[in-house]
Amino acid sequence: MDNQLIILIIMGLYMALIILYGIYQGRRVKTSTDFAIADRKLPGWVAALSERATGESSWALLGLPGAAYATGLMETWTAIGCVAGILVAWIGLAGRLRREAERYKVETFTDYIAKRHGDRGKWIRILGSFTIVFFFFFYVGAQFLGGGKTLNALFDINPDIAMIIIVVLVIPYTIYGGFRSVTYTDVIQAVIMIITLIVAPIAGIIYLGNQPEELVYATSISEALTRAGDSYSTMMGGAVMDESSDLAKFLNSWFPDATNIVQGLGSGIIIAGAFSWFFGYLGGQPQLTMRFMAIKDEANAKMARNIGVIWTIIAYIGALMIGWIGLALFGPDGLKDQETVMPEVLTTIFSPVISGILITGVLAAVISTANSLLILSATELSENIIKPLSTKSYGQKNGLKQSRVITALLSLVALALAYISPSDLIYSIVGYVWAGIGSTFSVVILLTLFWKSYHGTAALLTIASGLIFTIIWISAGLDTLISSRILTFVVALFVAITSSFVFKRKS
């Protein structure tokens, strides 16, 4: 049987399983609260695996291995930043957010912020939900793009058509079962993802060691990194600036005769930019924070924390190693698209049956994040913008129907944006969303939880400043100088603290 046909059959069976299981779980969804947050009764193991599957998305199985393949050890800084942020979130924030959600009867992410800052609750709901929906259009589009790349690499399907296929696979059970269907199907996908990220690196190292030198670029990861050059072989080497880059030109204009200073500052800025993913994990990613809020009790919160931490450490080591194994197999110029390194590695080192099973890990990442983002966007739009601004009275049944319709419409808009996105790199698109939402709302969540002087007016101004600054900074092309993930966090934090003192709390 043809290899492509074997992989196609395996992936088809997997998707049928996911869709049927999602519909089965969706039968228990009776109200808009069930649809939005599973009535805040998720078991710890479900919440943890769902949060990890959602958080890693096509970025961790396509974007991160692709970046590791393209930059070598330098990408370790990105992994360190992400892992540090995830650990802080699970250890320091998850339990507290669960208790807050129970106390305030939270249904959506901005619902929590609005209830904590009741003096500006209405406007926080509107602006916060608008910001989330705006950026999540691009984030969902990045997932469709990732699915398209995977199907294109495997079956040579036109990427545009492949994205439509992904939408058709994602939408049915997402619309029907909402948050509950999404979280429980995420469990299956998280298991497949972690198996892929464990098995592929181990098998890849064994495969390289058994290959003749003339058939691969290098017979080990260390040899590949060394042969590729200094920029690949050290964590600092990749931070050496290209003298023709925008950052180098900018720093040289300030320090025209100080080469060492320019290189030192440039290296520091590049490393800080890689580490800056850390800031988006501090409660600022709504699709992840909602998993914390949905855990049913303290015992399950502790279980979820332990599972989430262990899964994260293993997954990031695996993702980096797959990128470096790809470098050893194909060399630094061996792939047309760096973000196809994961499926290319799997189809090279495994038989069609095994690679077909493991490649479903890539689609699992795409689907788990796409449906989570769609559900969250739909509930934010429905509960915090449409209902408050409407004069019509919504019961639970009508609210559930409205949420389903909005989910379908949002998926079509996200698909359209995927076609016109200014970047075809998942890594870049997700980075922009991490700034606009992650860095902005991390400030809001942290100060809401830990600073009593923070109030509604300050929260509203924080959200507005983060949204506006990110759009201006990226639109002006300044993200090539300093990452907006860092600066958005700094700007939002400055606005939050300043406005907390300047404006008085509204009674």
* pLDDT-based confidence at residue 207 (cuts at 50, 70, 90): very high
When mean pLDDT is compared across 57-61, 109-113, 163-167, 353-357, the lowest value belongs to 57-61
Return the closest-CA partner of residue 51 out of 200, 238, 179.
179
Across 298-305, average pLDDT: 93
Q: Where are the alpha helices (DSSP H) in 234-385?
A: 246-254, 259-275, 286-294, 298-330, 341-349, 352-381
By the 8 A CB rule, do 95 and 305 touch? yes
Is the pLDDT score of 394 beyond 60?
no
Q: Name the CA dihedral angle for 77, 78, 79, 83, rounded to a multiple of 10 degrees.
A: 100
Higher pLDDT, 249 or 469: 469
> What six digits make up the tokens of 48?
């943890």
Higher pLDDT, 240 or 56: 56
Share the mean pLDDT of the chain: 83
C-alpha 430/C-alpha 269 separation (Å) is 19
Res 103: pLDDT: 92
> What six digits make up the tokens of 491?
């700007």
Across 371-384, average pLDDT: 80
Those residues whose C-beta lies under 8 Å from the C-beta of residue 468, and which sit 6 or more positions away, are none
Percent of the chain with pLDDT over 90: 37
Res 69: pLDDT: 94
C-alpha 348/C-alpha 23 separation (Å) is 35
Could you read off the pLDDT of 170-197 as tens digits, one per residue?
777 777 777 888 888 888 888 888 998 9
> What six digits make up the tokens of 114?
């609005």
By the 8 A CB rule, do 457 and 506 touch? yes
Across 202-223, average pLDDT: 92
Is the pLDDT score of 158 beyond 70?
yes
DSSP classification of residue 242 = P
Q: Return the number of other C-beta atoms located less than 10 Å from residue 167's C-beta.
A: 20
Could you read off the pLDDT of 322-347 as tens digits, one per residue?
999 999 999 999 898 888 898 899 98
Could you read off the pLDDT of 23-34 as tens digits, one per residue?
888 877 777 777
Those residues whose C-beta lies under 8 Å from the C-beta of residue 187, and which sit 6 or more positions away, are 45, 46, 49, 50, 53
By the 8 A CB rule, do 266 and 244 touch? no
C-alpha 100/C-alpha 440 separation (Å) is 20
CA distances from 374 to 50, 116, 143, 344, 408 (A): 15, 25, 11, 29, 8
Could you read off the pLDDT of 404-428 as tens digits, one per residue?
787 778 777 777 777 776 555 666 7
Those residues whose C-beta lies under 8 Å from the C-beta of residue 193, and which sit 6 or more positions away, are 52, 53, 56, 61, 315, 361, 364, 365
Alpha carbon of residue 207 to chain centroid? 31
Alpha carbon of residue 444 to chain centroid? 19
C-alpha 248/C-alpha 242 separation (Å) is 7
Domain spanning 3-245+277-421, CATH architecture: Up-down Bundle (1.20)
* pLDDT-based confidence at residue 448 (cuts at 50, 70, 90): very high
Higher pLDDT, 441 or 258: 441
By the 8 A CB rule, do 209 and 219 touch? yes
* pLDDT-based confidence at residue 53 (cuts at 50, 70, 90): confident
